[in-house]
Structure 1
């Protein structure tokens, strides 16, 4: 097992994880006190053997691409357990796993294995309350009906989670990357204290979707208030009203509907409206040709908000854009 120990820092009152986008060398950011995780995007991200550093398979439209930095007010330890990488400190846990479907029997079996291994590992930790999960898989929309790869992923995830989320589903994102089509990446944030799940009154809860969306409904909450209730972790949010996709083929209308859903989540969480410079968002864009229009929309409607534009396929092929991220109180 490979491990690391982050430098000691002065103890501060417990507060939520701090997430931001930063430029700079990965080695320098990893050396900063309290670094829990560092996420790079696309093949241009330098490889690192540090277990806290994950090269996410999604390419970015931003150049130069910033890194996503997670920090806590505590010393951090980290290591590897087979295919699983982890880091922990201050009551927080980051865990990530990457698997090749060709080695594990296809998308369903691979998703099942990923969630079984994450479940087994997290269950042994003090920080066992899973708050937020990200899932990135190749060719997410390939296949028709129940044969679609996303639906296979949902089947496998449900089979592998067991009682992983017995206290309720975490916030989550599932996006298709354009890299190796058989590469599955799953990473999560857990805590030694539970969060509070938040649903959107404009939408049917994902686990209650009707059969038309697959044998196994998606398993996630729309958002999660972290334990101190001063940060909202927002799931992948798109132009869905009730359970139906809205505004097919209309990018601007989908963006507007997505913002309405984000505001509904803030209201449900008891937070003030709007986003600010301390609330980083990821914006997943299906078609590269739409990136400039999405960027212009964001600059107009979310001025000053840190955003990262990523090339990714939404789990429903008719949806053109999805947004997730963090809202600090």
Structure 2
């Protein structure tokens, strides 16, 4: 018995999850605080600065002024640039981001491949090699037909750029269409020096097992990721998908209800209590600006007190009107 206790004590301390919160204020003040790993601003007026910990996300917020999204850890943070990749690291955690422009070729496949190759190279040289969560924002995500649709081309490029980087399993992820600069791809991620635990939704086919109708290369992500200490769940972009099919076409209310059902299924599979609270920041991506007020009121009623950042974004399937991602702390 004593030997078992000694072995348990010798195990590495699991990393406490970063604290993610929405805050109003100036980015410079937040960056001056100890432990700031990342600061995200939203929309054309964000301009959070050139610090490697900062990223101006090309998604407009329906609320003004748009809050900052702040990531903080209990450790000293160092930061820098490696080629086109901006990064910050502290306490076993890594924030990394890259922006790439398609240029004259106008094809997201090659741009996504280049972005992921560069991220992969940076991760290969770091202790924080376990990618837990990724966000991808590209413009005109639904343009094109069949295998030529821009989202499907992005998925092909992402997979090519990943190579065998995620042989152990895919991270949680979001892919949303922005209305910012044409041809701009933004990718940012959270990685750790310890692995998390992937969570799938029994109501949905795992994304990498989607049938051929969704493209030559299926989407490469897990539905959610439990962080190493099992103290937070990073939730992928979640919408009204049952099995592999979109549900409730053109019915915003029904899509919202189905999305919440899927979110609750993820919490149950992760072993977490149902529901979200004031410490569970979410993002709601809304396709049509005219729907923003309805989505805001719906979520205020169904998720009272939960901080929700309401953003103008196109969902990866044309028939889907809303998608939600975010965090749930244990």
Place the TM-score, normalised by the shorter chain, in its bin. Answer: over 0.9
TM-score (norm 2): 0.95
Q: Do the aligned residues in 2 keep the contact of 1:171 with 1:234 (CA within 8 Å)?
A: yes
Instruction: Compute the displacement of 1:47 (Å).
Output: 4.3
CA distance in 1, matches of 2:117, 2:69: 27
| Partner residue in 2 for 1:169 | 170
What is the aligned partner in structure 1 of residue 8 from structure 2? Answer: none
SS of the counterpart of 1:60?
A: coil
Residue matched to 2:68: 67
TM-score by length of structure 1 reads 0.95
- What 5-or-longer segments of structure 1 have no aligned partner? 1-11
State the secondary structure of the residue aligned to 2:285: strand
Tell me what 1:82 maps to.
Answer: 83
- Matches of 2:228 and 2:105, distance apart in 1: 36
Large movers: runs of 4+ above 4 Å: none
Across the two proteins, how many residue pairs are aligned to each other?
A: 318
2:79 match: secondary structure: strand
Asked whether the 8 Å contact 1:131–1:194 carries over to 2, the reply is yes
The answer on whether the counterparts of 2:107 and 2:150 sit within 8 Å (CA) in structure 1 is no
Show CA shifts across 1:112-151 (max 9, x none): 0000000010111000000000000000000111110000
1:26 counterpart residue number: 27
Q: CA deviation at 1:49?
A: 1.2
CA RMSD after TM alignment: 1.2
How far apart in 2 are the matches of 1:130 and 1:15?
A: 16
1:287-302 pair list within 5 angstroms: 287-302=288-303
- Equivalent in the alignment of 1:15: 16
- How many Å apart are 1:46 and its aligned residue? 2.2
Structure 1 position 180, deviation (Å): 1.5
**1:241 counterpart = 2:242:** yes
Residue number in structure 2 paired with 1:8: none
| 1:43-62 to 2 correspondences below 5 Å | 43-62=44-63
Contiguous gaps of at least 5 residues in structure 2: 1-12
Deviations 1:183-240 (A, max 9, x none): 0000000000000000000000000000000010000000000000010000000000
- Judge conservation of contact 2:40–2:48 (CA < 8 Å) in 1: no
